[in-house]
Structure 1
Amino acid sequence: MARLTVYVPNEMAERAGTAGLDVSALTQRAIVAVLEENATATWLAGITDRHEVRHDGVRSAIDVGRDDF
């Protein structure tokens, strides 16, 4: 596993230590969250064929799908 140096304000480090926080685990979760958010944003940006669909059209499609079950 790679080692990284993360700089935080002194007060934050003291409070995290006092609270017994696992700063390594918190940092890992924060990095994963940002990576997933960026991946979703990139995927959404790549969708170029956007079609305007009216509400009644959506309801009709749902009704057809429901009838198939």
Structure 2
Amino acid sequence: MPVLKQSLKWSPDGCRVETILAGEHEELPVRAIEIAAQLGILGFDTENEQEIVTEQPEQPAPEKTDKKAKK
């Protein structure tokens, strides 16, 4: 079960802003879960303990550019 450590303001459609209150939620939209994980405010309540999600999604490595002009 997803747990928000803080309230999350997000926009499901890019126009309106909704607030999802902190606490346990039976369901959350997939995009809201992704945003909460990126912000470091997402945990998951298991039966006996709470697993806190702290890993950030992998970012692609920046491309190296050759600043020397090739002739």
TM range (shorter): under 0.3
Q: Which structure carries more relative contact order (alpha carbon 8 Å, separation 6+)?
A: 2
CA radius of gyration, larger in: 1
Choose between structure 1 and 2: higher helix proportion. 1
Choose between structure 1 and 2: higher strand proportion. 2
Query: With structure 1 as the length reference, what TM-score do the two structures score?
Result: 0.23
